[in-house]
Chains A and B, each alone.
Chain A
Amino acid sequence: MNDTASYLSIKDIHLHFGGIRAIQGVGFDVRKSEVFSIIGPNGAGKTSMINVISGFYRPTQGQIQFDGVDRTHYRPEQVARLGFARTFQNIALFRGMSTLDNIMTGRLLKMKQNFLSNAFYLGRSQREEMEHREYVEHIIDFLEIQAIRKIPVGRLPYGLQKRVELARAIAMEPKVLLLDEPMAGMNLEEKEDMARFILDVNDEWGTTMLLIEHDMSVVMDLSDKVMVMDYGEKIAQGTPDEVRVDPVVIRAYLGDT
C-alpha cells in the first residue's frame, strides 16, 4: 500500500435518530500515519461521527472502508479487533481498577491464553502476562504516569484520567486512534502535555490519528488535515492554514457578522 492512498475512507455517512439528522452525508479520507482532525461548534455531529467509526452507532446510510475492507456494520468489539482504539469525551475508564489494571485491559485482545491453558500451563501463561506487563510499563513511562500506577483511577484528577485513557488506547497497539476531545476541560499546561503526547505517539508508532476537538486553536498545530463540520454536514476540509482563513468556517464559529 503506498503512502498517498486512502487508509480509512468514510463515504457519504448519514446518521438519523428518528427525526433527528445527526450526520448528513459526510465523507472523508484519512491517509496512513496522518493526524486528521474534525472540528466544529457544539452539536455539529463530531462525536456522532466517532461513534459511527468505532461501531457504537450504526450509520443509517453510507460506507466505511479500512485498508480496503468494508467494515460499515462492524460492532464495537469487531472494530477494536481490526485495530481501532478510542477515547471518550467524558472518560470511560474502569474506575474500580488501578491505573495499571486499566491499561492492562488494553492488552486483552493480544492475549492468547484461555482458561484451560491457565490451568495446565501455568508457566506459559505467566510468561505471557509478564510480556504484556512489560509492554504496559513501557507505555506508562512514555506517558509519564509512573507515580499513579497503583492508584484506582476513580480517585485521579480529571487530566490524569484522560491520560490513563490514552494509555489504555495505546496499549491496544492500534492502527487508528480515535480521540474524542482529548483536551476538553484541561488547563493550558495539561493541554500542551496532551498535544505533545499525541504527536509523540504519532512519531513513535506511526499511528493514524483521528482527532475531534471543539477548540480550533489546539488542533491547528497538531493536524496534517482538518475537516470542519456544522449541523451534521461537512462545510470545509483542507490543511490547517487553508481552513483557518476559510470564510465559511469563520462564519460557523463566529456567526454572521
Chain B
Amino acid sequence: MWDPLLFVEVLIGGLLSGIMYSIVALGFVLIFKASGVFNFAQGALVLFAALTFVLMLEVTGDFWNWTGGLSIGFAGLAGLLFLLNRKLLLNDANRFLNIKVLAFSAAILVAIVLAIFIQGGHNMWRGVFIALLLFLGLTVGIRKPNAAAAVLLGVAIIALFAGEINFWRSLVLTLVVMIVLGIAIEAVVLRPLVNQEPIILFMATIGLNFVIEGMAQGVWDADVHGLDIGIEDIPFEVAGVYISQFDIFVAVAAALMVGTIAIFFNKTRIGRALRAVADDHQAAMSVGIPLKNIWAIVWAASGIVALFAGLMWGSKLGVQFSLALLAFKALPVLILGGFTSIPGAIVGGLIVGATEKIFEVFVGIPYLGGGTENWSPYMLALIFLLFRPQGLFGERIIERV
C-alpha cells in the first residue's frame, strides 16, 4: 500500500518532530564542546525549566504581590552591586571585602526567607529554593558586578511593568532562573572537579541529574501540568499533505535559536574564546581567556537551550517527569551527528525523526505490530556506530604513533 502522499506527509512530520530532538541534543553539544563533559543532567534541566515556567504561570495573587516587592529588592541590589563595583575593586587581594559582601548578601537572604515564611501559605521548600538561587546569583554577581547589576535591573523592570502579561514575566523570570542554575552547577559541581577524568565528570552529572529531578519534585510538584504557549496544534493542508502548525512554529523558533548560537560562536570575540577553550584549555589560558567565565557562559547557554526545549516539549506532551527522559532520545541524535557539532545535532535530529516515523508507518505498524519508535532510533545509532563512530560531523580522531 504505497502512497507517495502519505510518505511525504510522514516524512515532513518526522523531520519536524526531529527538530524537537535536535533542540534537546543541542544542550548536550554546547557543554561537551566547551568542557568535554557529557552532561547527563541535560534532560533534568529541560524538565526543571518547563516546571518552573509552568508554575510561575499558574501561581497568582499573593505570589505576584510578593514578587512586586522582590523586584524592588532586585533593583536595590542591582544599584548596590553597581556602586560597590564603582567604588571598590573586588579581587583576590581584597578578600576581606568579599567576605563583607557575602555576609551582607547572606543577611538579605535570611530576610527574604523570613519574608516568605511570614507570608505563609507557600511551600517552604519553594521559598528556600528561591533564596538559594538568589544567594548563588549574588555570589556570581560579586565576581561580575556590572553584568549582574544589569541583569537584576532588567528583571526588576520586567517584573514590575510586565503587569498582567504573565507569560512574558514568567518567561523572563524562568530565563533568569535557568541562567543562574547553569552558572551555579558549573561553580558548585564541576569547577571543583576540574582536571579530573571525563568519567568522573560524567558520574557527577548523573548525580546532578537526580538532584535536579528530586529538587524539581520537592520545590514544585509531581503532577502533570498543561502548558499553553498560544500556538494551537491544528494541522493545515498544503497540496493534500497535512502539516502540524505547532511543529512549523517549533521549527522556525529552533532555526532562529540555532542561528543566534551559530553567530555567537563564529562571529563574536566570546565565540572565538569558546572555540579556543573547546580545543585546548592550557593554550586558552595562556592567551588570556578566563576559563571559568567561559564555562559559566556555556552552562548558562545550555540552561537557556533547556528552557527552550522544555517549553516546546512541555506544550506538546504536557509538563511531566517523562520530560527528563528526553535525554535518552537525544543520545542517538548525538551518535549520528557527532558530540561536538551543532550542525550535527540538527541533522542528526532530522534523520532520527524522519526514520523513526517512516519506519513506524511503513514497517512497524504493518509488520511488527507498531511501537517501533521506542527502539528504532537506537538501532539506527548502533548501525551508524559500526560505520562512522565519530558521527556525521564529529572530529575524526587520528592518533599519531
Query: How far does the Cβ of B30 sit from chain A's closest Cβ, in whole Å?
Result: 16
Known: A73-B93, A93-B283, A97-B279. A81 touches B269 (CB 8 A): no
Residues from chain B with a CB closer than 8 A to the CB of A95 are 279-280
A115 in contact with B270 given A80-B287, A96-B395 (CB within 8 Å): yes
What mask results when residues 198 to 231 of chain A are scored 1 for a CB within 8 Å of chain B, else 0?
Answer: 0000000000000000000000000000000000
Residue A113, interface by CB 8 Å: yes
* B269 A94 Cβ-Cβ under 8 A: no
Contact B287–A96 (Cβ < 8 Å) = no
- A96 and B279 contact, Cβ closer than 8 Å, known pairs A105-B272, A111-B269: yes
Q: Are the CB atoms of B279 and A108 closer together than 8 Å?
A: no
- Cβ of B280 and Cβ of A118 under 8 Å apart? no
Out of B269, B282, B291, which one reaches A88, CB within 8 Å? B282
> Is A162 an interface position by the 8 A CB rule?
no
Contact status A94-B288, CB under 8 Å: no
Chain B nearest CB, measured from A206 CB (Å): 21
Nearest CB in chain B: distance from A122 CB, A? 9
A32 lies within 8 A of chain B by Cβ: no
Residues of B within 8 A of A77 (CB): 285, 288-291
B92 proximal to A (CB < 8 A): yes
Residues on the A chain within 8 Å of B282, using CB:
56, 88, 92
Q: A88-B282, A94-B276, A95-B280 are in contact. Are A113 and B268 (CB under 8 A)?
A: yes
Query: A-B contact count, CB below 8 Å?
Result: 80
A-side contacts of B279, CB under 8 Å: 94-97
One digit per residue, 1 when the CB lies within 8 angstroms of any chain B CB and 0 when it does not, for chain A 113-137 equals 1110011000000000000000000
Chain A residues whose C-beta falls within 8 Å of the C-beta of B125 in the assembled complex: none
Across-interface contacts of B264 in A (CB, < 8 A): 115
Any chain A CB within 8 A of the CB of B275? yes
B288 touching A108, Cβ below 8 Å: yes
Is B273 close to A, CB under 8 A? yes
Q: Which of B92, B263, B285 has the most CB of A within 10 A?
A: B285
CB-defined contacts of A115 to chain B, threshold 8 Å: 264, 268, 270
- Say whether A94 contacts B289, CB under 8 Å: no
The answer to whether A73 touches B272 (Cβ under 8 A) is no
Does A86 sit within 8 A of B, measured CB to CB?
yes
Task: Enumerate chain B residues within 8 angstroms of A75, measured Cβ to Cβ.
Answer: 290
Query: Which chain A residues in 69-95 approach chain B with CB under 8 Å?
Result: 73, 75-77, 80-81, 85-86, 88, 92-95
Residues of A whose CB lies within 8 Å of any CB of B are 54, 56, 73, 75-77, 80-81, 85-86, 88, 92-97, 104-106, 108-109, 111, 113-115, 118-119, 168-169, 172
11 A-B pairs besides A56-B282, A77-B290 with CB distance below 8 A are A76-B286, A77-B288, A77-B289, A92-B282, A95-B279, A105-B272, A105-B283, A108-B288, A114-B269, A115-B268, A168-B283
